[in-house]
Structure 1
């Protein structure tokens, strides 16, 4: 099978979408399929190489570090035809998503769309009336989904949400899987050495963008309360983003800056090492459709304390592999302290976390996706044969 994946963001920029693309692509290739990725160019990554086709791009007006592709290329259009793609899989409804849809229609290739994000939750990045932008994001993403032959959601909650919004297209849930083998042979002690953290000190870990939608002011305020009971705890925040300076200032104002480490963006292998070194993974976002980092935490055997939301409640079973908490600082900090101060409970949840992760292996999820691709192609063939039969009967 020849599979074309169209995305607005990709390596070297680290994001959940980029990780999802790489995870599925690697598994598809292991199973003998060909994968071609169409993504924006960026400094040092402008040429087609390794099955990645780069389109010209411009800096996003809301984030100059983000390259937005120019969704037109006669050269790429011709190459798509030459590649004889069986499936076009769009990762976004906007920009490259529109380009993917045009090519799918032009060459009569089935169009698949993964609904990665609650787009309306990012309306504050657009320099326009936020209420209007939120409404338009919902309308346009719903309209796009209805133009697709198959829509993939990473959680059942998002699948149900799309139905309530009027999506009539075929929708299936397939979360991004985790390559469990990547957690083998890693020595997490290197993290404590690199940050000069003693073996007795408890480590909390957050991985993700440092941005408004991740609700990180809440996390730091909760951590302030944690330190009243667990005096020498450390919070390591892996990732970067527009909120970094504000979060650092908040930590200084609360006089807890010495207990928070802003590690910045790291290679994925280093992220895995951090997961293994942590005693607890903390997550406070209210906008996640899946929360890929939660699967990574579970795969490393790290219990999770998170706010209850659409994407998180399908991953974390309260009291089993972590805690699902209401958005209340006191309650969140109490659950964190409960696990940090109770080694036996934390070890029990760690074992449960690993068991949970086994059901989300990247191999299993990739096989599910390929099965849907094949069913989509079978439906197309059946539809063509049916149309040809009608022509012969009435001809």
Structure 2
């Protein structure tokens, strides 16, 4: 099968969407499928794969590290027409995703689309001079129109499906959680040794973008109280983002530099080491549609403490693989200190969390995605959408 993937988020930009696309690309290729990827152009980046195509793009002052693809690429369109693509899979409903949908319609290619992100939670990136109410209405209208035009719709969580239904998307929507990559055969002690983390540290870990919607300040406010109850506690904040420098400044202002470590962007393999080295995973964001990193943390054997909001609580079976708490510093302090003091319960959470390695293995998830592709190919020309059992 020849698959064309279109996404605003792709390498070298690292987030849950780009990671899930890389995993899908590699597994489909391993199985003998031909995968073409269309994404924005990043200055100075060389793609390691010959079937990646970059659309002409522009940079904006609002997200200087996140280029916006232009919806016109005549040379790429001429090539696309000759490839014999069987399925188009879009991962974003905006500039690049619109190109993918338009090209699929022109050539009557089945269109599959994944709704990854709760976009209304990101409206703070819209310039303040623009009224929010009409932007919200326009966003909902566009999302309804876009996903109604697909032959098959997927979302990584039930909350994402509920949001699309609220917008008026009538087609069946199939929740399929994103896959989790295998971890290297490295012990906790070895991971800490490689990262230079002392063995006696009680390591709290957050991995994700440093952005306002991620609520990371909650963790900074909680840390002095956590350290009072657990003097060896330290917090690692792993990831890049537009709020990185402001969060560093906040940590300095709160005199947290001895307890909080910012890594900035790190290679994907190194992220795995941080997950294997940690004791607890703390996640204060209430804007996730899935929170892929939560599945990765659990697969690494980390009990998770997550804020009750968005799709993150779906990733954690309360009391089984982690705790769901209010998105407040006080709630995180209480939960962290509780787990530091109850070793048996913490170990039980860890053992149950590790089972994610089987249920969300790359082969298992990609099997289900391929079912969606095959079903979509059978519906071209029909207004009926497709779905498979959860």
Q: TM-score, normalised by structure 1?
A: 0.92
**Aligned equivalent of 2:154, options 152, 155, 158:** 152
What is the deviation of 1:73?
0.9
Q: Residues 307-346 of structure 1: matches in 2 within 5 Å?
A: 307-346=307-346
Q: Is 1:136–2:168 an aligned residue pair?
A: no
**Residue in structure 2 matched with residue 162 of structure 1 by the alignment:** 164
CA distance in structure 2 between the aligned counterparts of 1:224 and 1:141, rounded to whole angstroms: 42
- Over 3 Å counting, the alpha-carbon distance change for 1:382 and 1:151 in structure 2 is closer
Q: CA deviation at 1:211?
A: 0.3
In 2, Cα distance between the equivalents of 1:168 and 1:285? 29
Report the alpha carbon displacement of residue 281 of structure 1 after superposing the two structures with TM. Answer: 0.4
Post-superposition CA distance 1:9-37 (Å, at most 9, x none) = 21111111110101111121222211110
CA contact (8 A) 1:284 1:307 kept: yes
Q: Cα offset for 1:298?
A: 0.7
Q: CA contact under 8 A between 2:151 and 2:380: conserved in structure 1? A: no
1:362-381 mapped onto 2 (5 Å cutoff):
362-380=362-380
Q: Which has the higher contact order (CA 8 A, sep 6+)?
A: 2
Q: How many angstroms does 1:179 deviate by?
A: 2.2
Q: Which segment is superposed worse, 285-294 or 66-75?
A: 66-75
Per the alignment, in what secondary structure is the counterpart of residue 302 of structure 1? Answer: coil
Between the aligned partners of 2:54 and 2:301, the Cα distance in structure 1 is 37
Instruction: Tell me the equivalent position of 1:124.
Output: 124
Assess if the C-alpha contact under 8 Å between 1:111 and 1:148 holds in 2. yes
How far off is 1:39 after superposition?
1.0
CA RMSD of aligned residues (A): 1.9
CA distance in 1, matches of 2:296, 2:166: 30
Residue 25 of structure 2 corresponds to residue 15 of structure 1: no
Alignment of 1:350-365 (within 5 A): 350-365=350-365
**Residues in 2 aligned to 1:149 and 1:219: alpha-carbon distance in whole angstroms:** 42
Identify the structure with the greater helix proportion. Answer: 1
- Within the alignment, does 1:66 sit opposite 2:66 as a pair? yes
Q: Distance in 1 between matches of 2:381 and 2:241?
A: 46
Of residues 361-370 and 171-180 in structure 1, the stretch that sits farther from structure 2 once superposed is 171-180
**Paired residues, number:** 381
Kindly provide the CA deviation profile for residues 287-314 of structure 1, in whole angstroms up to 9, marking residues without a partner as x: 1001000011011101100012231222
Deviation at 1:110? 1.1
Alignment of 1:149-298 (within 5 A): 149-180=151-182, 183-189=183-189, 192-193=192-193, 196-298=196-298
**Structure-2 separation of matches of 1:349 and 1:159:** 28
1:123 aligns to what SS in structure 2?
helix
Within a 5 Å distance, the mapping from 1:19-168 to structure 2 comes to: 19-45=19-45, 49-127=49-127, 128-168=130-170
Which residue is equivalent to 1:386? none
Query: For the pair shown, which has the larger CA radius of gyration, 1 or 2?
Result: 1
Deviation, structure 1 residue 164? 2.0
Q: Assess if the C-alpha contact under 8 Å between 2:112 and 2:150 holds in 1.
A: yes
Q: Note the alpha carbon deviations across 1:39-69, whole angstroms, 9 max, x for none.
A: 1111233679421111111113311111111
Please, which runs of 5 or more residues in structure 1 have no aligned partner?
A: 384-395
**Once the two structures are superposed, what CA deviation does each residue of 1:334-353 show, in whole Å capped at 9, x if it has no partner?**
11111123222222111010
Which structure 2 segments of 5+ residues have no match?
A: 384-390
8 Å contact kept, 2:306–2:313: no
Residue aligned with 1:120, SS: helix
Deviations 1:132-182 (A, max 9, x none): 3333222212221111111111011211221122001231111111122xx
CA contact (8 A) 1:188 1:274 kept: no
Contact 1:88 1:112 in 2 (8 A): yes
The change in CA–CA distance for 1:146 and 1:230 in structure 2 (over 3 A counts) is same
Tell me the residue number matched to 1:388: none
